[in-house]
Amino acid sequence: MKTLQKLIKFIVPIIIIFIGCSSEENIQTELKSDVKETASNLSARAGLKPIGSGVMMQAFYWDVPAGGTWWQTVESKVQDWSNAGIDAIWLPPVTKAQNGAFSMGYDPFDYYDFGEYNQMGSVETRFGSKSELQSLIGEAHNAQLSVIADIVINHNSGGDSEVNPINGQSNWTDFNPLSGKFFRTYNDFHPNGIHNNDSGAFGGFPDLCHHQNYVQDWLWKNPESVAKYYKNVIGFDGWRFDYVKGFEPWVVKDWKNEVGGFSVGEYWDGNAGTLDWWTSQAEVSAFDFACYYRMRDAFEGNDLNHLNDDMLWKRNSTRAVTFVTNHDTDEIFSGKMLAYAYILTHEGYPTIFYQDYEEWLNKERLNNLIWIHNNLASGTTNILYTDNDEYVAKRNGQNSAGLVVYINNSNSWQERWVETNWSNTLIKDYTGHSNWEPVTQSGRWVKIQVPPKSYSVWAPK
C-alpha cells in the first residue's frame, strides 16, 4: 500500500446509538433481508470461471478519478475482459475511509458503509455507491468473472480521540460508524490488556489487535462479520489481504478457513524463501515480489540471467500470483511487454494492471499473450538458455502441447537452435512476430527466431 500522506481529520458529529433488543432485532432483520435479496446472485456464482484458469485483472490504479464513477467504469469493461480471457477482477477497498470521497480506501473507517451513509465528508466513496458496486459485481458474475475484495485489516483511521488507560495517552481509537456495526475502542487496538503490539503498525494509524475475540468476531467469525457480509451480501468471491506483514499469518488462515474464497496476501518482500514461508503458514497465495524484482533486474538491468534466480513460482507455483506492476509500484520501465511475455508463459497465476491494459501498452498484444497463457502455457517449466540479452524456456504441456518462449532484449533479430518436446512437428510463432513455420527434427531440435526487443512463442501448428 502506498504510504499515505497525513490525512485531514474531519470533525465528525458524535452519533449516540442505542443498542438494545430492538436495535439488535433491526440489524438482524436488515441482514436477513439483504441475504434474501442476494440469494439469486449467490446461486448464479456456480457459473464462474475457476480462479486461476485464466488471468486476474487489477481493476484500478492509484488515484483513479474521484467523483463516484469508477464502479460504472469498471462495469462497462468486464464483459470485454472476460472475452479476452480474464477470470477475476481485483477491486480496491470498497468501504468508507477517513478521507471520504477522496480516499483510495486504505484508511478504513466503516467496514459496512459501501457508499450509503453521510460520514467522513461524503455519502459515496471515491468509487461510487453501494448500489453501483453491487451492479458491478452482478455484471461481473454475469460475465463469469470472480470479484476479489481488497481487505485492509491491519489498521483503521478516522476514529475520535480517547484516552487509552494502558499508556495514559490520547489516541484516535473511538470508532462510532453510522452503519451501526463494529464499534471500536482503545481495547481493540494496540496497546491493550493482551499485548502492546503485533507484527507491525502502519503509517501511525491505530493498529488493530487480532488477538481480541471481539475483533475476530467482527472481522470474520460472527454471522454479521465483515468477511461474511462481503461474501454473502455484497457478493465477493475472494480476498486480497493488504499489508500482511503487519499481523501474523494465522489471521489470514483463520479468515480463509471460516469463509473460504480465493485468498492472496501482499507480503512485500523480494526473498522467495520468505514468501514461501508465509504462504505455507497462511495456507494461501502471495504476490510474487521475488519474481517482480528479478524481472526488473533482468529487463531494466539488461541481464536476462536474472530470470534464472529464485522466485516464489519456482518454489510453489500454486501459491504464486505473478505481476509486472501494480498500484503501489506502477513505474513504467522499458521492458514491460517482455515482462508480460514472461509471466503469461510461465507458471503462477498472472495479474494484468489496469493502466497497462487500458492505457499504456498494446491491448492486442496483451490479449494475444492472455490467449497463449490460457491455451498453451501448461505443465512444468525448463529454462533452455539465458544470457544478457536472450532467454529461452519451454512449458512441457499438461492439457496442451506446451510451448517454447523466446525473449530478446537486444536491438537485433536473434536465432537459436533449441530442443523442444516435439519430433517431426510443424510449429509456428503464435505471437505473429515471426512468419517462420519450421519442422522440428526427429531429435526434437529446431531453429527459432525473435525480433529485437520482443518475444516469440512457439507451439505445434
Question: Which tens digit of pLDDT belongs to each residue from 336-384?
Answer: 999 999 999 999 999 999 999 999 999 999 999 999 999 999 999 999 9
Predicted confidence (pLDDT) at residue 138 exceeds the cutoff of 90: yes
Residues present in the chain in total = 461
pLDDT in tens, 104-135: 999 999 999 999 999 999 999 999 999 999 99
In angstroms, the Cα distances linking 359 to 332, 362, 385 are 12, 8, 33
Q: Which residues neighbour 159 within 8 Å (Cβ) at sequence distance 6 or greater?
A: 109, 172, 173, 174, 175, 184, 206
Q: Judging by beta carbons within 10 Å of its beta carbon (0-12, 13-18, 19+), is residue 303 exposed, middle or buried? A: middle
pTM value is 0.90
| Residue with the three cell numbers 536473434 | 414
pLDDT in the model for residue 27: 34
With a cut of 70, say whether residue 421 has pLDDT above it.
yes
- Average pLDDT over every residue of 312-325: 98
Residue 401: predicted pLDDT: 85
pLDDT at position 45 is 74
Task: Show the cell assigned to 253.
Answer: 488462515
Of 244 and 28, more confident: 244
Q: Is 28 left (phi over 0), alpha (psi -120 to 50) or beta?
A: alpha
pLDDT band for position 400 (cuts 50, 70, 90): confident
Res. 48: pLDDT tops 60: yes
Positions at the binding site for Ca(2+):
154, 217, 389
C-alpha cell, 221: 467469525
| Rounded Cα distance, 89 and 67, in Å | 21
Is 242 one of the catalytic residues? yes
C-alpha cell at 133: 458496486
| Nearest alpha carbon to residue 364 among 411, 460, 298, 433 | 433
Residue 334: pLDDT band (50, 70, 90) is confident
What's the rounded mean pLDDT across residues 193-204? 90
Q: What is the average pLDDT score of the chain?
A: 91
Give me the pLDDT at residue 332, please: 61
pLDDT band at 29 (very low <50, low <70, confident <90, very high): very low
CA atoms of 446 and 452, how far apart (whole Å):
20
pLDDT higher than threshold 50 for residue 10 = no
In this prediction, residue 399 has a pLDDT band, given cuts at 50, 70 and 90, of: confident
Is 459 buried (19+), middle (13-18) or exposed (0-12) by CB count in 10 A?
buried
Categorize the per-residue pLDDT at 42 as very low, low, confident or very high, splitting at 50, 70 and 90. Answer: very low
Catalytic annotation, pick one of 113, 198, 266, 356: 266
pLDDT, tens only, 258-301: 999 999 999 999 999 999 999 999 999 999 999 999 999 999 98
Domains and CATH numbers, the chain: 21-375 (3.20.20.80), 381-460 (2.60.40.1180)
pLDDT, tens digit, 9 for 90 and up, residues 140-178: 999 999 999 999 999 999 999 999 999 999 999 999 999
pLDDT at 46: 81
Q: Which of 113, 124, 242, 356 is catalytic?
A: 242
Q: Does residue 37 carry a pLDDT above 80? A: no
3-class secondary structure per residue, 6-59: CCCCCCCCCCCCCCCHHHHHHHHHHHHHHHHHHHHHHHHHHHCCCCCCCEEEEC
> Which of 276, 242, 230 lies closest to 130 in space, CA to CA?
230
What tens digit of pLDDT does each residue of 300-317 get? 989 999 999 999 999 999
Taking 50 as the threshold, does the pLDDT of residue 43 lie above it? Answer: no
Q: Provide the strand spans (E) within 63-122.
A: 86-90, 96-97, 108-110
Give the C-alpha separation, 379 to 37, whole Å. Answer: 42
Amino acid at 227: A
Comparing CA positions, the residue from 377, 114, 92, 147 lying closest to residue 262 is 147
Q: Is 387 a catalytic residue?
A: no
The conformational region for residue 453 under phi > 0 = left, psi -120 to 50 = alpha, else beta, is left
Smallest CA-to-CA distance from 2 within 272, 290, 286, 330 is with 330
DSSP annotation of 72 reads H
Question: Which residues are part of a known binding site?
Answer: 154, 217, 389
For residue 8, the model assigns a pLDDT of 33
For 104, left (φ over 0), alpha (ψ -120 to 50), or beta?
Answer: alpha
283: CB partners within 8 A, 6+ apart:
253, 256
- The phi, psi pair for 287, rounded to 5°, reads -65, 135
In this structure, is the dihedral angle defined by the CA atoms of residues 390, 442, 373 and 273, taken in order, positive or negative? negative
